[in-house]
Amino acid sequence: MEHHSHSNTLKIKSLGIDTYRENTVFMRSDCHICRSEGFTALTRLVVHYKRKRIIATLIVVHSDLLRENEAGLSDIALKRLDVKEGDLITVSHLKPIESLSDVRAKMYHKKINEAAYRKIISDITNGFYSDIEIAAFITACAGDNMDLDEITWLTKAMIDSGSKLKWDEKIILDKHCVGGLPGNRTTPIVVAIVAAAGLIIPKTSSRAITSSSGTADTMETITTVNLSIEKMREVVNKEGGCFAWGRSAKLSPADDILIAVEKALDIDSSGQMIASVLSKKAASGSTHVVIEIPFGETAKVRTHEEALKLQYYFKAVGHAINLNVEVLITDGSQPIGRGIGPSLEAMDVISVLRNDPNAATDLKERSLIIAGALFELSTKFGKGKGYLEAKQILESGKAYDKFNKICLAQGGFTEPTFAKHKIEIKADSSGTVISIDNRKLAKIAKLAGAPHYPSAGIYFSSPIGSKVEKGQTLFTIYSESEGELQYAVDYLKSIHSILKIA
Amino acid sequence: MEHHSHSNTLKIKSLGIDTYRENTVFMRSDCHICRSEGFTALTRLVVHYKRKRIIATLIVVHSDLLRENEAGLSDIALKRLDVKEGDLITVSHLKPIESLSDVRAKMYHKKINEAAYRKIISDITNGFYSDIEIAAFITACAGDNMDLDEITWLTKAMIDSGSKLKWDEKIILDKHCVGGLPGNRTTPIVVAIVAAAGLIIPKTSSRAITSSSGTADTMETITTVNLSIEKMREVVNKEGGCFAWGRSAKLSPADDILIAVEKALDIDSSGQMIASVLSKKAASGSTHVVIEIPFGETAKVRTHEEALKLQYYFKAVGHAINLNVEVLITDGSQPIGRGIGPSLEAMDVISVLRNDPNAATDLKERSLIIAGALFELSTKFGKGKGYLEAKQILESGKAYDKFNKICLAQGGFTEPTFAKHKIEIKADSSGTVISIDNRKLAKIAKLAGAPHYPSAGIYFSSPIGSKVEKGQTLFTIYSESEGELQYAVDYLKSIHSILKIA
């Protein structure tokens, strides 16, 4: 037991500071506790309130932001400790976190056991690790440092870190795309086709972190995606499929924490990635999963060799955790669809489902391949028959009908709309579009307001290979305010070119 | 060039928040820039003011801490950008930091070249890395991931990251102890002996980070240690040695940054440690260095094998950067001296220098061994003669005389004093002291106020092997306030026992 005297007590002041996931405690530099305990910046402390305790990183305050005997907590820390302004907390030193010694062993390239992974993930989920400690764990696991056993143990630990869904049906389908291409919104189409065939696909998706839209953002322009586990189950029981935001279902919460630090480090270790994907799938109760790995120069996976290696691990770890995994290695050389931004991508999806003659054929094709693979993996249809069955279900209108029914079950169907303001960007010469800078296009969509304003973004009317005349519209920027539209146009003017016409 | 419109401008509000070394920018969640740029927590931004720019981590504020169009900066960020309340800054997205791709290569166990280490260390010194990126770099280098070339390149890059001292003399001595034992304050004694022999030893030392005292804290109770490079040079030119606080001389600033994150992670990768120690020595202009590696169960270096491996690397890297290095592997099984806390340790040092019959013999012995090794390494005295020469200089009073002169040159000599309040802790049984819990002793010293109040701490009168009677004083706790004394006693009462008597 740690020792607390009453002199360790501080009164909470609410500062409204959002440090995202990291628990932070703000204390005055001249406070009794800081001085006597010898706390310095980067110190980790235990903050107690009644029977709860959290571990938090100290930030020292020199101003009158806090009065004597006051302490502040970041928003997430207030929530985790369940305290409000005026409550009395106590603060004490942190004893070493035991699982960090396993992280150190991993830094030294030792194989660590299943119990170690379980403890590390449990401590991370409980908020006991600082961001730099999480960064050390991620780095120690990168560079092919984990063998097949370890990836499997990490996956299992992540599955057990959160809720798990159980379904009555024997076969539960799911899909995932590794390092999704811009506009690659196959998910809603695949779910509609698969559910229309009478199969079960309780799909959860993520929101954008740094991109202009995630699948959950896109689907939110059409229906409610913030479903509780109970609501999700209700929708799936009724319609066979759903479009839910993953985070709201609290599946594999450790994964969300690890991903945030990985994004900040801009690394994607294959072991962590496999554990991340498969843990989410297993936690959601899936039994059969199709994983798409697009490879290409500007995709996340650069080479065919790398894609093959990932394929092996996905299948082997899947086998070890009783998940039937099929891996599709696909072309990742260019983006898919035309919209960039939640509503505009939703329009792409709906066009394909409605069999609109102007629908993006690349998006349709990719969706049919994935749905076909799911059909064959589930043994609903025999080898070589999946694609054609998927095409028949889509083109007959059954998939669109199912899509509508799922949306209604989730809370309603709203037709996605264009934003109020727009500007058309025209070709300044005639010729054929030979290349597109997707990163710059995505940046313009973000400057225009996506995903914060769902209808903001870009509608792209001239994919690679299009023949264009001088003065013809290449793409249209949409925005909810003149100010943001101008902001996007200013940026566009400041860069050289976004499309090459030759 | 990045693009800035005037709408990117925010007015600085001073918040008085000290995030230690990490640049932090506080922005309202509803501000125009946050929304249009899609900034989220953990985002890294570029903050511009006039011609300066810094990279900072975003913290989002939901309260009225900031008004519209206001932004806050952490203390270090205000200082680095040289702005004050009311100044107008602009904020833009951060382009990828190129050297991070070398860090990622290192994560994947690739050997990276000299230019890569140079760029990484330069970017870290300039504050371009976040703490989690530094944690990733440290982790990627841990676990024997660096070969001899790489440790050498890292060392050179760290030397070049800050100021360098040059001396006219051909031989400049220095010493270092890896993972110092509690109370192991040999430095002031060694400097006095070596300078008394007419050799040059411009010693810099650190302050306590998590312990109850560093050598700089200890020497500060006797004299001024916060010396500019000019003042340090003046003292050394006059007396041959000095006791300076290392940070004030700005040698190897990258090292201070790396050490802070290493401490937080509680790791000490051997490659980083060798680069850290040798870069500080080389930057201070040393030519001959004795490194002490105590090994023992509770020391930083646990085994003789580990000590031998470190010895090899220290000597080889030293050779590569033209530094003559001698390594002493010593006994690290128990602490040295009796005082714990700045003033009390200073008293130990002075007792040895004054040849007080009650002086700690272990501290004297260890100091003579190191001074002797320096004598032999410098070839001032022949092989096997160093120890006896050191003993003669110490016991003749010449070392104490030199110690006084250096102190006077630095700004004066003050006799360290005991704190106002004390309590004697007595034996509750008779017998022989067979073990001591050093960590708990150090914690009591910190609770009593060390190192913040230099005279606070513990004077330890019963080392292992002492025969004690029931009621005899085992140790005395010193404190500057009754409150803190009580705080220390409360803790003492809450734990089982600190000394074992049998």
Least trusted range by pLDDT, from A218-227, A323-332, A487-496, B114-123:
A487-496
Q: Where in chain B is the domain with CATH 3.90.1170.30?
A: 421-501
Per-residue pLDDT tens digits for A31-89? 777 766 666 666 788 999 998 999 998 888 988 889 988 999 999 899 999 999 999 99
- Does the pLDDT of residue B414 top 90, yes or no? yes
Q: Do A17 and B42 touch (CB under 8 A)?
A: no
- Does the pLDDT of residue A440 top 70, yes or no? yes
Q: Do A484 and B36 touch (CB under 8 A)?
A: yes
Dist. CA A188–CA A190, nearest whole Å: 6
Whether domain B6-93 has CATH 2.40.50.140: no
Which residues, including other chains, have CB under 8 Å from residue B464's CB and lie 6 or more apart?
B334, B433, B434, B435, B436
Q: Do A490 and B135 touch (CB under 8 A)?
A: no
- Does the pLDDT of residue B407 top 90, yes or no? yes
Q: Do A487 and B7 touch (CB under 8 A)?
A: yes
Residue A352 CA, distance from chain mean position: 24
Active site residues of A: 268
Q: Which of B14, B142, B446 lies closest to A107 in CB terms? A: B142
The candidate with the shortest Cα–Cα distance to B37, out of B7, B66, B67, is B7
Residue in B139, B144, B267, B482 to test binding to A, most A beta-carbons within 10 Å? B139
| A316-343 average pLDDT score | 91
Q: Do B446 and A36 touch (CB under 8 A)?
A: yes
- Contact predicate B14/B83, CB 8 Å: no
Kindly list the residues from chain B whose CB atom is less than 8 angstroms away from the CB atom of residue A42: 20, 131, 260-261, 263-264
Average pLDDT over chain A reads 89
Strands ordered across the beta sheet of B473-479: B339-340, B457-460, B473-479, B421-426
Please indicate whether residue A300 or residue A426 has the higher confidence score (pLDDT).
A426
3-state secondary structure of A215: helix
- Does the pLDDT of residue B55 top 50, yes or no? yes
The candidate with the shortest Cα–Cα distance to B423, out of B361, B501, B476, is B476
Q: Do A62 and B5 touch (CB under 8 A)?
A: no
Per-residue pLDDT tens digits for A110-133? 999 999 999 999 999 988 898 899
Give pLDDT, residue A178.
87
- Does the pLDDT of residue A384 top 50, yes or no? yes
Give pLDDT, residue A210.
65
Written out in words, the top-level CATH class of the domain with range B99-159 is mainly alpha
Q: Where in chain B is the domain with CATH 1.20.970.10?
A: 99-159
Give pLDDT, residue A281.
92
Dist. CA B281–CA B289, nearest whole Å: 8
Give pLDDT, residue A2.
38
Q: HEC profile for A387-410?
A: HHHHHHHHHCCHHHHHHHHHHHHH
| B356-373 average pLDDT score | 95
Q: Which of A3, A135, A209 lies closest to B136 in CB terms? A: A135
The candidate with the shortest Cα–Cα distance to B27, out of A75, A67, A19, is A19
Both tokens of A387, joined, read 């694609």
Please give the residue of chain A at the shortest CA–CA distance from B62: A16
Per-residue pLDDT tens digits for A370-381? 999 999 999 999
Q: Which of B3, B265, B495 lies closest to A136 in CB terms? A: B265
- Does the pLDDT of residue A20 top 80, yes or no? no
Dist. CA A84–CA B313, nearest whole Å: 54
- Does the pLDDT of residue B175 top 70, yes or no? yes
Give pLDDT, residue B182.
64
Give pLDDT, residue B335.
73
Angle at B500 (CA atoms; ends B499, B501), nearest 5 degrees: 115
Give pLDDT, residue A5.
44
> pTM higher than 0.90 for the full model?
no
Q: B201: left (phi > 0), else alpha (psi -120 to 50), else beta?
A: beta
Give pLDDT, residue B1.
31
Cβ neighbourhood burial of A431 (10 Å; 0-12, 13-18, 19+):
middle
User: Does residue A35 belong to the interface with chain B, where contact is any CB pair within 8 Å?
Assistant: yes
Per-residue pLDDT tens digits for A356-367? 998 999 999 999
Give pLDDT, residue A500.
87
Per-residue pLDDT tens digits for B152-164? 999 999 999 988 8
At B136, the pLDDT band (50, 70, 90 cuts) reads very high
Give pLDDT, residue B3.
40
Q: What are phi and psi of A86, to 5 degrees?
A: 95, -20
Bond prior to A451 in cis (omega within 30° of 0): yes
Residue A5 CA, distance from chain mean position: 44
Residue-level length of chain B? 502
A98: DSSP letter: T
Dist. CA B205–CA B203, nearest whole Å: 7
User: Does residue B481 belong to the interface with chain A, where contact is any CB pair within 8 Å?
Assistant: no
Give pLDDT, residue A1.
31
Per-residue pLDDT tens digits for B240-251? 999 998 776 677
**DSSP for A171-194, written as a single string:** -BEEEEETTPPTT---HHHHHHHH
Q: Do A142 and B107 touch (CB under 8 A)?
A: yes
Which residues, including other chains, have CB under 8 Å from residue B313's CB and lie 6 or more apart?
B148, B151, B270, B271, B274
Strands ordered across the beta sheet of B173-177: B173-177, B288-295, B324-331
Q: Do A17 and B494 touch (CB under 8 A)?
A: no
Which residues, including other chains, have CB under 8 Å from residue A56's CB and lie 6 or more apart?
A23, A24, A25, A44, A45, A46, A47, A73, A74, A77
Average pLDDT over chain B reads 89
Residue-level length of chain A? 502
Cβ neighbourhood burial of A89 (10 Å; 0-12, 13-18, 19+):
buried
User: Does residue A104 belong to the interface with chain B, where contact is any CB pair within 8 Å?
Assistant: yes
- Contact predicate B329/B178, CB 8 Å: no
Both tokens of B497, joined, read 């026992």
B299: DSSP letter: S
3-state secondary structure of A65: coil
Name beta bridge partners: A44.
A57
Amino acid identity for residue B17 in this structure = I
The CA distance from B65 to the nearest CA of chain A, in Å, is: 7
Per-residue pLDDT tens digits for B182-232? 667 899 999 999 999 999 999 988 887 667 888 999 999 999 999 988 899
Dist. CA A389–CA A190, nearest whole Å: 12
Dist. CA A213–CA B344, nearest whole Å: 62
Segment (H or E) for A218: helix A215-220
Which residues, including other chains, have CB under 8 Å from residue B429's CB and lie 6 or more apart?
B470, B501
Per-residue buried b or exposed e for B404-435, using 16+ beta carbons within 10 Å of the residue's own CB: bbbbebbeeeeebeebebebebebeeeeebee
Q: Where in chain B is the domain with CATH 2.40.40.20?
A: 6-93
Residue B490 CA, distance from chain mean position: 30
Q: Do A59 and B447 touch (CB under 8 A)?
A: no
Residue B465 CA, distance from chain mean position: 32
| Dihedral sign from CA coordinates of A137, A178, B96, B56 | negative
Dist. CA A437–CA B299, nearest whole Å: 56
Residue B186 CA, distance from chain mean position: 16
| B299-312 average pLDDT score | 89
Dist. CA B295–CA B307, nearest whole Å: 7
CATH code reported for the domain at B173-248+266-410? 3.40.1030.10
At B298, the pLDDT band (50, 70, 90 cuts) reads low
Please indicate whether residue B450 or residue A2 has the higher confidence score (pLDDT).
B450
Amino acid identity for residue A339 in this structure = G
Both tokens of B175, joined, read 């010493």
Dist. CA A186–CA A69, nearest whole Å: 55
Q: Where in chain A is the domain with CATH 3.40.1030.10?
A: 173-252+266-410
Please give the residue of chain A at the shortest CA–CA distance from B140: A139
CATH code reported for the domain at A173-252+266-410? 3.40.1030.10
Catalytic residue among B268, B331, B348, B490: B268
Q: What are phi and psi of B90, to 5 degrees?
A: -120, 155
Write out residues 191-230 of B within 8 Å (CB-CB) of A: 208-210, 212
- Contact predicate A263/A143, CB 8 Å: no
Q: Which of A41, A139, A209 lies closest to B40 in CB terms? A: A209
The candidate with the shortest Cα–Cα distance to B479, out of B437, B450, B439, is B450
User: Does residue B18 belong to the interface with chain A, where contact is any CB pair within 8 Å?
Assistant: yes
Of the CA atoms within 13 Å of residue A380, those in its CB half-sphere come to 25
User: Superfamily assignment of B421-501 in CATH?
Assistant: Pyrimidine nucleoside phosphorylase-like, C-terminal domain (3.90.1170.30)
Q: Which of A19, A20, A107 lies closest to B267 in CB terms? A: A107
Least trusted range by pLDDT, from A120-134, A244-258, A316-330, B68-82:
A244-258
Q: Give, rounded to a whole angstrom, the gap between the first and last alpha carbons of chain A.
A: 74
Q: CA distances (Å), A473 to each of A134, A428, A462, in order?
A: 47, 10, 8
| B293-310 average pLDDT score | 86
Give pLDDT, residue B328.
96
- Does the pLDDT of residue A183 top 90, yes or no? no
Per-residue pLDDT tens digits for A215-257? 999 999 999 999 988 999 999 999 999 999 877 667 778 888 8
Please give the residue of chain B at the shortest CA–CA distance from A146: B108
Residue in B1, B31, B40 to test binding to A, most A beta-carbons within 10 Å? B40
3-state secondary structure of B319: helix
Cβ neighbourhood burial of A205 (10 Å; 0-12, 13-18, 19+):
buried
- Does the pLDDT of residue A488 top 80, yes or no? yes
Dist. CA B49–CA B27, nearest whole Å: 16
- Does the pLDDT of residue B36 top 70, yes or no? no
Which residues, including other chains, have CB under 8 Å from residue A103's CB and lie 6 or more apart?
A120, A133, A136, A137, A140
Kindly list the residues from chain A whose CB atom is less than 8 angstroms away from the CB atom of residue B490: 3, 5
User: Does residue B38 belong to the interface with chain A, where contact is any CB pair within 8 Å?
Assistant: yes
The CA distance from B396 to the nearest CA of chain A, in Å, is: 40
**DSSP for A234-283, written as a single string:** HHHHHHSEEEEEGGGGTBSHHHHHHHHHHHHHT---HHHHHHHHHHHHHH
Dist. CA B54–CA B52, nearest whole Å: 7
**DSSP for B391-456, written as a single string:** HHHHHTTHHHHHHHHHHHHHT--------SEEEEEE-SS-EEEEEE-HHHHHHHHHHTTTTTSTT-
Beta strands A288-295; A173-177: pairing state: parallel
Kindly list the residues from chain A whose CB atom is less than 8 angstroms away from the CB atom of residue B79: none
